[in-house]
Amino acid sequence: MSPEPQPLPRPGAAREAFCWSALALFTLFLLVVNHYYYLKNTRVPIQDEAWYLETSLHLYHGLADRDLDRFVYHYKTAFQTKAPLISVLPLPFYLLFGPSRWSALQVNGLFLVVSNLWLFLLARRLFSAEVGLAAVVYYQTMPLAFGLSRTLMVEYGLAALVLVWLYCLVASDGLSRGVANFMLGVVLGLGLLMKVIFPVFIAGPFLVVWLTRRRHGAVPRAESPFWRSCARWPLAAIALPALAIAGSWYAFNLIHVLQFAWENTFGQIASGYVAPGQSSRLLLVINEGISSYYTTVVAVLGFAALAAAVRRLGWKKLVSNERALLLLGWLVPPMLVMAASTNREIRFAIPLLPVIAIFFAVSIFHLGRRRGWQAILALLIVIFPLRLFAELSFPARAHSHDNTIQWGPFLIFRHVMAWAHPPDSQGAWDQQRIVEAIHRMDTPEAESHYVVVGVEHPYFNANLLNYLDAYRRSNLHFTSLGYAESSADRAIERINKLDARFLVMAEGFHNFELSDFLNQINGGIQHRLDQGQLPFRFRARIPLDGGIQAVIYQREAP
């Protein structure tokens, strides 16, 4: 009897296996580099990051003390103007490794794995495995992506959840799969708990898929009755779990967060992020987000690939292609919102970087037909970005901070970018001594009381002092004179309304070191203290760094 014929290997199976293996190795490489970075970088967390860390510690203390009421209270009241998921996610790592900034940063390792896996799956489903692998490499070697992966900020996780949502949308086969529709609702809820602007990045692709479903119809798959109902009524299947998850926090804070989001995008808060003479946001994103190198290569290869596609398919087929419409729906609406916004902060653009990476990878693998040459081109293109990645991942060499390469307005290389920099110890001024000095002066009591901090500097502010104090179960609460307060009289009203027990001022900063927007009335408050017009007396002077000192005043007894 002749032996059974062996099944032939599936065409492309070897390429798939190679891409999966390369994805795993690249992800492991990024995790190892970031772990090294976390250990070497002792720069203090600044402002929003310190606030996220502080809130995560309050939540942790509620869990550690098995005080559910306290945990729920801190969750419901977290931020009020910002969604709280970024402060909830470190809790498992605190329970495993103990509360520390290093433990909190492990959340980014989770986001990194999620980003790589779901970007690969999304691009693989839309195009091919090699496009998926190339897109992952290009995305994670963009300065904004690897920079934000090393700090506890919302946007890196936001981009990861956008990728998961878009993959579930594509996997829903025109919203005909109940399981995928339900997962869209779960991820939407988590995305809203990450940042209120999450829908801005998913609305375009969803509209493309929804209109396609309406035009062609969708037949529910053979699933259980519950999943069939989710396929039959996709809007309900998405909305109900999203409302259940996001409502756990938005039910108490919706008005506050919407007002803040508007002000932060189009209002006075947004204008405060614009420095005099600052470049446009588009130029900032090109230079310090994507990198001008990647932008140039994307433009050149993209136009070449577009011309080839037009010759092959014609404009009519190209513009009606569902994949192209989905990617454009991902890219264009958020770009229009950002163009209309007065806020110039570039980190909000990170959910768009993966679609740019996909365009880039598609351009390479759709030029010509010889896969070997395509792979060589893909590797050659990533050499310079990997060099930049290495320079900004390991401790700086002497004088390397002076090494800036620029061509007109376009930045080719700089050792410190908006969110990417080598590990360092900037701002490590032992600010903990301010907190300890106040505790020594304070009278222990159960009721919490306020300490007003009269300066807003990245390394000296109320958020940072609150974070440092949150490691102990303290009754102190550090706060500012008021966000971007412009009236000394209103600030004094705030001090009195809070019945602040301590006032912390700063000496030794040069004017150019302090944001005018956030430090408009510091001098006026200091003048009134010097003139004895406020009921506070000098208690201590804490030297910090380079002539900078914290000056502590305590309210006089009535």
CA-based R_g, the chain, Å: 26
Q: 22: burial class by Cβ within 10 Å (0-12, 13-18, 19+)?
A: middle
| pLDDT at site 516 | 81
Tokens 């398919």 found at: 313
CA nearest to 519, candidates 430, 454, 426: 454
Q: Is residue 294 within 8 Å of 385, Cβ to Cβ? A: yes
Residue 86 has pLDDT above 50, yes or no: yes
Residue 3 has pLDDT above 60, yes or no: no
Side chain identity, residue 34:
N
| pLDDT at site 8 | 45
What is the average pLDDT across 532-541? 92
- CA 553 – CA 127 distance, rounded (Å): 64
Give percent above pLDDT 70 in the chain: 90
The per-residue DSSP string of 120-162 comes to HHHHHHHT-HHHHHHHHHHHHTSHHHHHHTTS--HHHHHHHHH
Residue 517 has pLDDT above 50, yes or no: yes
- Report the range of poorest mean pLDDT among 100-104, 240-244, 386-390: 386-390
Residue 47 has pLDDT above 90, yes or no: no
Q: What is the DSSP letter of 460?
A: B
What is the average pLDDT across 339-358? 90
Residue 519 has pLDDT above 90, yes or no: no
Confidence of residue 1 (pLDDT cuts 50, 70, 90): very low
Residue 342 has pLDDT above 90, yes or no: no
What fold, for 432-555? D-Maltodextrin-Binding Protein; domain 2 (3.40.190)
Q: What is the DSSP letter of 425?
A: -
**Interstrand relation of 405-407 and 549-555 (parallel, antiparallel or unpaired):** unpaired
Most confidently predicted of 152-166, 220-234, 283-297, 429-443: 152-166
Q: How far is CA 36 from the centre of its chain?
A: 20
Q: What is the DSSP letter of 446?
A: S
What is the average pLDDT across 232-250? 95
Q: How far is CA 118 from the centre of its chain?
A: 17
| pLDDT at site 212 | 84
Residue 401 has pLDDT above 70, yes or no: no
Residue 414 has pLDDT above 50, yes or no: yes
Q: Which of the pair, 346 or 315, is modelled with greater confidence?
A: 346
Residue 400 has pLDDT above 80, yes or no: no
| pLDDT at site 488 | 86
Take residue 424 and report the two structure tokens written for it.
């360092």
- CA 347 – CA 326 distance, rounded (Å): 23
Q: Which of the pair, 418 or 461, is modelled with greater confidence?
A: 461
- Mean of pLDDT over the chain: 88
CA nearest to 87, candidates 20, 9, 154: 154
| pLDDT at site 278 | 54
Residue 6 has pLDDT above 90, yes or no: no
Residue 149 has pLDDT above 50, yes or no: yes
Backbone angles phi, psi at 177, to 5 degrees: -110, 115
Residue 190 has pLDDT above 90, yes or no: yes
What is the average pLDDT across 114-125? 97
3-state per-residue secondary structure call for 263-319: HHHHCHHHHCCCCCCCCCHHHHHHHHHHCHHHHHHHHHHHHHHHHHHHHHHCHHHHH
Residue 45 has pLDDT above 50, yes or no: yes
What is the average pLDDT across 87-110? 96
Take residue 290 and report the two structure tokens written for it.
């994507």
What is the average pLDDT across 103-117? 97
Long-range contacts (CB closer than 8 Å, 24 or more residues apart) made by 413-416: 413/388, 415/391
List the beta strands (DSSP E) in 306-444.
Answer: 405-407, 410-413
What is the average pLDDT across 152-169? 97
> At a CB cut-off of 8 Å and minimum separation 6, what does 211 contact?
none
Return the domain boundaries, the chain: 14-383, 432-555
Residue 57 has pLDDT above 50, yes or no: yes
Confidence of residue 340 (pLDDT cuts 50, 70, 90): confident
Give the sign of the dihedral formed by CA 159, CA 365, CA 141, CA 23. positive
Most confidently predicted of 114-128, 367-381, 433-447: 114-128
> What letters, b where the CB count within 10 A reaches 16 and e where it falls short, cover 509-547?
beeeebeebbbbbbebbbebbeeeebebeeebebebeee
| pLDDT at site 402 | 60
Q: What is the pTM of this model?
A: 0.91
Q: Which of the pair, 400 or 65, is modelled with greater confidence?
A: 65
Q: Which of the pair, 479 or 266, is modelled with greater confidence?
A: 479
Confidence of residue 319 (pLDDT cuts 50, 70, 90): low
Residue 302 has pLDDT above 60, yes or no: yes
- CA 334 – CA 437 distance, rounded (Å): 47
| pLDDT at site 2 | 46
Tokens 């060589």 found at: 376
